[in-house]
């Protein structure tokens, strides 16, 4: 199995954390999508990371699918609950936390360009989506065993620390702060944290 990834990609971090949770061995291929590397384009025409090449020769693109595939392979406690209320709760939380990334990652990409009216409106929408969603997470019950939703919470908050340290998320979110501090003791998170910014 080969994972095209970057140590700064939060989507790739989710896949790395799931692989570590199950002790799965994966060959890592460092990829910078903005350079359109041929090895990434060969498996993902969208030129995004993460992309997982399975041992069966299937290319899995999009972190939710990659995480579910790795969880299906793993022998550790499952991160994707079986169909039922726990599964829908975990997937709903995972989608919300992916949504934070889907706003935070492209918002950052806008910084390289002059801030015209259209761009400023778009950045404002991204920023509001991020802060509203962090507020919503404070009200979510994060007790119980780790699942793909809670894993997403850790990765999203870690990305905010990494790229948006000037907009600290901890003030006003004591439950999230305690949850995050506790989870960061788990090597699947401490060993996949992005490098110092
Ligand atoms: N929905 C995708 C998003 C992946 C994504 O946007 N990855 C970023 C890196 S953090 C990327 O490859 N960006 C390159 C681009 O959008 O051209 C997932 O969950 O894997």
CATH number of 85-187: 1.20.1050.10
Q: Is 33 in the pocket of ligand 1 (CB under 6 A)?
A: yes
What pLDDT does residue 184 have? 98
Find the 105 Cα to ligand 1 centroid distance in Å: 8
What pLDDT does residue 111 have? 83
What pLDDT does residue 115 have? 82
- Average pLDDT for residues 139-155, to the nearest whole number? 98
**Per-residue pLDDT tens for 10-19?**
999 999 999 9
Closest CA to 183 of 159, 150, 161, 156: 150
Task: Check whether 196 has a pLDDT greater than 90.
Answer: no
What pLDDT does residue 5 have? 98
- Average pLDDT for residues 116-136, to the nearest whole number? 95
Pocket test for ligand 1, best of 6, 10, 48, 62 (most atoms within 8 A of CB): 48
Average pLDDT, the chain: 97
Find the 11 Cα to ligand 1 centroid distance in Å: 7
**Per-residue pLDDT tens for 80-118?**
999 999 999 999 999 999 999 999 999 998 888 888 888
What pLDDT does residue 20 have? 98
Task: Check whether 154 has a pLDDT greater than 80.
Answer: yes
Give the strand pairing for 2-5 and 27-30.
parallel
**Per-residue pLDDT tens for 31-74?**
999 999 999 999 999 999 999 999 999 999 999 999 999 999 99
Domain boundaries, given as residue ranges, for the chain: 2-73, 85-187
Answer whether 47's CB lies under 8 Å from 33's CB: yes
Task: Check whether 197 has a pLDDT greater than 80.
Answer: no
Closest CA to 62 of 76, 73, 52: 52
Q: Is 159 in the pocket of ligand 1 (CB under 6 A)?
A: no
Task: Check whether 195 has a pLDDT greater than 80.
Answer: yes
The fold adopted by the segment(s) 2-73 is Glutaredoxin (3.40.30)
Q: How many CB atoms lie within 10 A of CB 151?
A: 26
- Average pLDDT for residues 127-136, to the nearest whole number? 98
Residue nearest to atom 6 of ligand 1 (CA): 48
Q: Is 9 in the pocket of ligand 1 (CB under 6 A)?
A: yes
Q: Is 51 in the pocket of ligand 1 (CB under 6 A)?
A: no
Find the 48 Cα to ligand 1 centroid distance in Å: 5
Specify the ligand 1 atom closest to the Cα of 47.
17
Residue nearest to atom 2 of ligand 1 (CA): 62
């Amino acid at each position: 199995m080969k994972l095209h990834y970057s140590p700064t990609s939060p989507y790739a971090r989710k896949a790395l954390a799931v692989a570590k949770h199950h002790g799965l061995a994966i060959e890592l291929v460092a990829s910078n999508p903005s350079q359109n590397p041929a090895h990434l384009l060969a498996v993902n025409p969208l030129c995004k990371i993460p992309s997982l090449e399975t041992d069966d020769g299937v290319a899995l693109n999009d972190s939710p699918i990659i995480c579910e595939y790795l969880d299906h392979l793993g022998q550790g406690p499952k991160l994707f609950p079986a169909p039922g209320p726990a599964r829908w709760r975990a997937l709903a939380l995972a989608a919300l936390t992916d949504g934070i990334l889907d706003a935070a990652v492209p918002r950052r990409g806008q910084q390289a360009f002059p801030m015209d009216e259209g761009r400023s409106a778009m950045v404002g929408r991204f920023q509001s989506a991020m802060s509203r969603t962090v507020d919503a997470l404070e009200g979510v019950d994060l007790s119980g065993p780790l699942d793909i939703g809670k894993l997403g919470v850790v990765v999203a908050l870690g990305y905010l620390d990494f790229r948006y340290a000037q907009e600290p998320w901890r003030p006003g979110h004591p439950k999230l702060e305690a949850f995050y501090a506790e989870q960061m003791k788990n090597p699947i998170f401490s060993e996949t944290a992005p490098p110092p910014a």
